[in-house]
Amino acid sequence: MLVPTHRRNPCELCVFYRWVPISLVLPAILLGLPAWGAEDLWVTYRGTEGPGAGKQIVLIAGDEEYRSEEYMPMLGQILAKWHGFTCTVLFSINPETGEIDPNCQTNIPGLDQLRSADLMIIGARFRELPDDQMQYIAEYVDSGKPIIGIRTATHAFAYTRNRQSRFAHYDWRSTVWPGGFGRQVLGETWVSHHGVHGRESTRGVIAPGMSQHPILRGVKDVWGPTDVYTVRDLPKDAQVLLYGQVLSGMNPDDPPVAGPKNDPMMPLAWIRFYPSASGKKARVFCTTMGSAVDFACEDLRRLVVNAAYWCLGMEDLIPERAKVDYVTPYEPTPFGFGKFRPGKRPPDLAWR
């Protein structure tokens, strides 16, 4: 069992967060510090049967606005139950309480599990992790193994506390590694809202000539209430799968906005091959859709499940219509700051 060793403000100072061994648990309890097992800081859904059997996926949740702490467990359950992948979901954890806290930008326990992962799915926003956690993400990126980025992953990292960190170049505004992790690895960093946030929803439109791409197998109707992001500088090797059509309202049957917002439309989902430090070209899929309420859309879930197969070089095994039914009840919270459900711990999200 492990316990945190400090009582500092969890959101600002858990960059100094460390763990101590079981021999110090009793003294820690006597001192009034919280105690919990490391296994209580993430949740794992074990796949058994299906094409993904034997493959490990690590899903990283950590954003204040779009409820990745809700949609990542749901996706992990689907990938495990219906497709056989073993999925471990990591969260931003308040080190004082052991609870899921998207506002804690400096602590995601369990990232060492990326060393055995076959695929990383990330939906983070403005995280600034201590170097001993961030090293596992950097090692994974350098390995050339595949990556899926969802919405705010384009600006997953922001260094404001420790600008001297050896990982500060991952910052979305980096000039050393222009655009940081988002632009260099996924293909784009944060630019702006293209649709009006909270007022203009998004329809996914299949890019010309891409309807037969395996990631789009069985994907016909993608819609979500989040707005289209501006995508300005995709690399030349990127292939756009979906464009984002800006709708005039927050319902799927609202008409498209007339004028330059949709002429041309912004890329909404794309693939590329990232030239990693290992010399291997990593398969990368990115979509700027992706709030918890967006994933109420069956075909958006199917898009990401199909992308997991493709990223792992398993595109020949993508079903004609991949099963993406919820495994446990899913009642997503609308996007917005300060709207996460407090008091949740990772074990609360285990399937029964």
pLDDT in tens, 49-88: 999 999 999 999 999 999 999 999 999 999 999 999 999 9
Q: Residue 91: name the closest of 114, 72, 65, 66 by CA.
A: 72
Q: Would you tell me how many other CB atoms lie within 10 Å of the CB of residue 251?
A: 10
Q: What is the pLDDT of residue 28?
A: 40
Percent of the chain at pLDDT exceeding 70 = 89
Token pair listed for 14 = 């858990």
* pTM: predicted TM-score of the whole model, two decimal places: 0.91
Return the half-sphere exposure (C-beta side, CA atoms, 13 A cut-off) of residue 81. Answer: 15
pLDDT band at 39 (very low <50, low <70, confident <90, very high): confident
Helix (H) or strand (E) holding 136: helix 131-143
224 Cβ contact list (under 8 Å, min separation 6): 201, 202, 289, 290, 291, 293, 294, 295, 297, 300
Rounded Cα–Cα distance for residues 42 and 341 (Å):
17
Q: Residue 66: name the closest of 246, 300, 327 by CA.
A: 300
Instruction: Please list, residue by residue across 172-200, b when 16 or more beta carbons sit within 10 angstroms of its beta carbon and e when fewer do.
Output: bebeeeebbbbbbbbbbbbbeebbeeeeb
Rounded Cα–Cα distance for residues 71 and 9 (Å):
27
pLDDT in tens, 312-344: 999 999 999 999 999 999 999 999 999 999 999
> Is the pLDDT confidence value at 34 over 60?
no
Token pair listed for 335 = 């996007």
Long-range Cβ contacts of 170-179 (<8 Å, 24+ apart): 170/134, 170/137, 170/138, 172/126, 179/233
Rounded Cα–Cα distance for residues 38 and 19 (Å):
9
Output DSSP code: residue 248.
S
* Mean pLDDT calculated for residue range 196-206: 97
8 vs 126, more confident: 126
pLDDT in tens, 153-191: 999 999 999 999 999 999 999 999 999 999 999 999 999
Rounded Cα–Cα distance for residues 217 and 302 (Å):
9
Dihedrals phi, psi of 278, to nearest 5 degrees: -75, -15
Kindly report which listed range (7-21, 65-79, 151-165, 229-243) carries the lowest average pLDDT score: 7-21
pLDDT in tens, 102-154: 999 999 999 999 999 999 999 999 999 999 999 999 999 999 999 999 999 99
Q: Do the Cβ atoms of 290 and 124 come closer than 8 Å? A: no
Rounded Cα–Cα distance for residues 69 and 73 (Å):
7
Kindly report which listed range (1-10, 81-90, 265-274) carries the lowest average pLDDT score: 1-10
Q: What is the pLDDT of residue 38?
A: 75
pLDDT band at 351 (very low <50, low <70, confident <90, very high): confident
Task: Look up residue 283 and give its amino acid.
Answer: R
Which residue is listed with tokens 């995601």? 108
Q: What is the pLDDT of residue 352?
A: 65
Handedness of CA 331, 11, 134, 111 (dihedral sign): negative
Enumerate the β-bridge partners of residue 269: 242, 287
Long-range Cβ contacts of 220-224 (<8 Å, 24+ apart): 220/299, 221/297, 221/298, 221/299, 222/268, 222/289, 222/297, 222/299, 222/300, 222/303, 223/252, 223/297, 223/300, 224/289, 224/290, 224/291, 224/293, 224/294, 224/295, 224/297, 224/300
Q: What is the pLDDT of residue 11?
A: 52
CA dihedral 309, 313, 315, 319 (to 10 degrees): -40
Token pair listed for 309 = 């197969």
Averaged confidence pLDDT in the chain: 91
